[in-house]
Structure 1
Amino acid sequence: MLFGKLLPREGNFFALFNQHANHTVEAADALVKLVANYSDANLRAQYIAAIDEAESAADSVTTLVNKTIHQTFITPIDREQIHSLINRMDDVADLIQDVAETLVLYDVHAITDDMRTLTDLDRRCIDRVRAAVGTLDKIADASVAEAALKTCEEIDKLEDDADRVLRSAMSALFRQEEDVRELIKLKAIYELLESISDRCQDVAKIIEGIVLENS
């Protein structure tokens, strides 16, 4: 029992989740601005740098959470849930960086309306993720738990919207784009953008499980 008394209890996991969510929103905001100002080389570089900085900060939080799991004797929620949640959240931040890097690596010259729509849906998804994460330390309150589940439902609906946009964009791309290289580039970008909302949905499912088990 002495061993247990010497180890920290609870940890600061909820605050760390919130920090990570804030960094991911920063990355998403920069992605929206990158897409909106892509034709300006200087602004493009500025927003890509902002995405890289936010993603790096999110990575640091993920590392700290995973380290803290092993240093904490009693955690506020299940250890596997903590591990899964922070790593799925980090997938979202990683994908935002992947989009920015792929735009440059593939030498994409113009942003399409479908890219703008998917980016907007992703930003809204990520905002809802932050809202859901922010409830986790208060889900013992039935009204907060209900609000958290409602927010997760909103994420699901946004992901459905992104799926529909992706299908429409792919259909138009394969019907209209005659340049094979351009088709390959745009297909990759569309799929990466849609994957962001997929990972947000993964986060929402984990949060739903946490709420249902702990409220």
Structure 2
Amino acid sequence: MFGKLLPREGNFFELFNAHGAKIVEGARAFQSLVQNYDDTSLRARYGQQVDEAEHAADKITTEVNRLLHKTFITPIDRDQIHSLINSMDDIVDLVQDATETMALYDVRRVTDEVLQLSDLSLKCCERVQHAVSLLARLSEPTAHEAAIKTCEEIDRLESDADRVLRSAMSKLFREEADVRELIKLKAIYELLESISDRCEDVANLIEGIVLEHS
């Protein structure tokens, strides 16, 4: 009787997809922000878009966790659902953190390395969205293979971001004479690289789910 009082499946996959869309929305807004950094009005507009994406993603995360407590039978393991949605939320939180840090630190210029890392972050986020979209179709062999391939692409992009970070740090400590600028840029570089790290965390979770359901 108790089981009949609770939803049996919920709309977890739809919520995952909606959250993935907000991750990409935030990452695209951040990329636009750094690409148009010299235009203060555009910078403010894109910063607001990052905030809106993060707030919307938070609401979806809250809804997933609420639904998790109300659903009797979940489509995948409860711990996997909880870990996945919270790891996804970490990504968009970091995008917002990077946006806020650039404003709080009064960053005056955007380096090529910031542009490179923002581009890699967006590519990672787009692949996270794609991998998440395949979870509802894991019974299909093509979806299973596509999810694993996408997770491998995220791993490669994370390695690319690591290389950009190492090169950026080396250049920064060799060439930046202004200590304040060095501190600012170091913090931004590390935040942006951590976005790809969190995307890799999500990819590892998805790989585990895929392998479990293969």
* Root-mean-square deviation (Å): 0.5
Aligned residue number for residue 95 of structure 2: 96
Q: Which residue of 2 aligns with 1:193?
A: 192
Superposition deviation, residue 51 in structure 1: 0.4
Hey, which bits of structure 1, 4+ residues long, moved more than 2 A? none
Q: Matches of 1:17 and 1:142 in 2, distance apart?
A: 21
Which runs of structure 2 are paired with 1:49-64 in the superposition (5 Å)? 49-64=48-63
Aligned to 2:79: 80
TM-score, length-scaled by structure 2: 0.99
Cα deviation, residue 6, structure 1: 1.3
Give the 5 Å matches for 1:66-145.
66-145=65-144
Q: Which residue of 1 aligns with 2:30?
A: 31
Counterpart-to-counterpart distance in 1, 2:6 and 2:66: 13
Distance (whole Å) between structure 2 residues aligned to residue 176 and residue 38 of structure 1: 22
Q: What does the per-residue CA deviation read over 1:110-164, in whole Å, with 9 as the maximum and x for residues that have no partner?
A: 0000000000000000000000000000011112101100000000000000000
Alpha-carbon distance in structure 2 between the residues aligned to 1:182 and 1:44: 19
Q: Percent identity?
A: 65
Residues 188-215 of structure 1 deviation map (CA, whole Å, 9 limit, x = unaligned):
0000000000000000000000000012
How far apart in 2 are the matches of 1:111 and 1:172? 14
Residue 172 of structure 2 aligns with which residue? 173
Please give the alpha-carbon distance, in whole angstroms, between the structure 2 residues aligned to 1:162 and 1:146: 25
The aligned counterpart of 1:208 is 207
User: What residue identity is the alignment partner of 1:57?
Assistant: A
- TM-score of the aligned structures, taking structure 1 as reference length: 0.99
Q: Which amino acid aligns with 1:70?
A: H
Aligned length: 214
Match of 1:147 in 2: 146
Distance 2:140 2:82 in 1: 24
The residue that corresponds to 2:43 in the other structure is: 44
Residue 39 of structure 1 and its aligned partner are, at CA, apart by 0.6
Stretches of structure 1 lacking an aligned partner (at least 5 in a row): none
Distance in 1 between residues matched to 2:59 and 2:201, nearest whole Å:
21
Question: Structure 2: which 5+ runs fail to align?
Answer: none
CA deviations on 1:28-57 (whole Å, 9 max, x unpaired) are 110010000011110010000000001100
For 1:121 and 1:29, the matched residues in 2 are separated by: 11
Q: Which amino acid aligns with 2:126?
A: D
